Amino acid sequence: MFSWTQQNPLQTLIRAAGDEANRLTTLGVKRESQVLQQLERVETQVVMAVAQWPFVAAVLLLVSSGLVSSSPLPACPEPCTCQRAPLLNCSSSGLSLVPQHIQDSVTELDLSHNLLVSVTLDRQHHYLRNVWLGNNSITRLSLCMKRDSAGRHVRGRQLHGLKPWSRHGCVSWAPTLQLLSVERNLLEELPEGLEATESLQVLQLSFNRISTLQPGDLSPLWQLKELHLQHNLITRLHPQMFQDLAQLRVLDLSFNMLTSLHPLTYLSLRNIGADVRLDGNRWQCDCSMRSLRRRLAYDSSRGLRSWSVVCASPSVHSGRDLLQLEEDDLNCFGSENRPELHQDVTVYSGSEILLSCSAQGNSKKKMCKIT
């Protein structure tokens, strides 16, 4: 608080401001000298007016107090490091919450190898290009800023119980994001708000628990070049899932739970020219794969690089590439005539698999998750 005397209020004010400026100087604040210079310039002009208009001193007191006490955001929030200016490195710091007061100048944010369950930034960062969130425990990720019940953006401290805005009203906290890496987490669905990050080029979501992909989820990402979904629990793909991704060059769907692939999915990805990786899935080489085999064989005869589709079932075809089979080998059996009663399954350490299980003599099937 500034002291106030009856004899010379303005001089007392400036003296107090000077004391405050000296204190702030030791803290590295750079704006106090500008405030002092401004106050000294107006001292001569307003000292006589103070006696006639006392409220002038009060207004000056409030303005000067606000200017002097304001300070810039910390350059590097604890416990992060900022050895390279645009990079805010907070990896392996034991964080359970995202650091506050991230500078607008940050272009790369590394929050990998922490204890994060969710990630929320309370304001937009227009220069943020790359975000690494790998090796946390994130179950659901939204790129949308949070809003309160009145539709206003939530700033400052995170409020509990608020949900990200609807997809159609999403305001992204990283609108110019180009790389998002969330591998080795606990995601069960794609991040929310992808439609608000049209500049995204690399999306890394491997080693999660994603089981379904909805048509249209990726359509706005017309600049996407790499999509990594290996080691998830994806069981099927919509035929039009990737048709709008004209820039896609790498699509990794290896080690999922895919059993078949629609020919239209193959055609759309072949036309785009993407490098598609499908090994390690549970391909069921029966009559439903005949059409795909024909297209693979046709492209292979033209010298085009063929996809690796290695059969997992039936057991008579297990381990053989689809192109090694003749069309007559791809037969379908009714459930009562299915020749095999077991499947050999390889589970990688730290991964999960989703199996179709049924008891002998019971026609009902259940989906069993094994960790």
Q: What is the mean pLDDT of residues 193-205?
A: 96
Q: Give yes or no for residue 197 having a pLDDT over 90.
A: yes
pTM above 0.85, yes or no: no
Instruction: Find, among 234, 326, 330, 332, the residue nearest to 280 by Cα.
Output: 234
To the nearest 10°, report the CA torsion of 314, 320, 321, 326: -70
Check residue 4 and give its pLDDT. Answer: 44
Check residue 365 and give its pLDDT. Answer: 46
The string of pLDDT tens digits covering residues 78-96 is 899 987 779 999 999 999 9
CA distance 259 to 311: 9
Where residue 180 falls among pLDDT bands split at 50, 70, 90? very high
Location of structure tokens 């999306």: 203
Q: Give yes or no for residue 219 having a pLDDT over 90.
A: yes
Q: Which amino acid makes up residue 11?
A: Q
Bridge pairing between strands 366-370 and 353-357:
antiparallel
The string of pLDDT tens digits covering residues 315-366 is 999 999 999 999 999 998 654 444 444 445 556 566 666 565 544 445 444 5
Check residue 323 and give its pLDDT. Answer: 93
Where residue 8 falls among pLDDT bands split at 50, 70, 90? low
Backbone angles phi, psi at 268, to 5 degrees: -65, -40
Q: What is the mean pLDDT of residues 262-276?
A: 92
Q: List CB contacts of 345: < 8 A, sequence separation 6 or more.
A: 353, 355
Q: List CB contacts of 198: < 8 A, sequence separation 6 or more.
A: 220, 221, 222, 223
User: Which has more pLDDT, 189 or 157?
Assistant: 189
Strand partners, 354: 369
Check residue 367 and give its pLDDT. Answer: 54
Q: Are 74 and 27 in contact (CB under 8 A)?
A: no
SS (H, E, C) the chain: CCCCCCCCHHHHHHHHHHHHHHHHHCCCCCCHHHHHHHHHHHHHHHCCHHHHCHHHHHHHHHHHHHHHHCCCCCCCCCCCECCCCCEEECCCCCCCCCCCCCCCCCCEEECCCCCCCCCCCCCCCCCCCEEECCCCCCCCCECECEECCCCCECCCCCCCCCCECCHHHCCECCCCCCEEECCCCCCCCCCECHHHCCCCCEEECCCCCCCCCCCCCCCCCCCCCEEECCCCCCCCCCCCCCCCCCCCCEEECCCCCCCCCCHHHHHHHHHHCCEEECCCCCEECCHHHHHHHHHHHHHHHCCCCCCCCEEEECHHHCCCEHHHCCHHHCCCCCCCCCCCCCCCCCCCCCCCEEEEECCCCCCCCEEEEEC
Q: Give yes or no for residue 280 having a pLDDT over 60.
A: yes
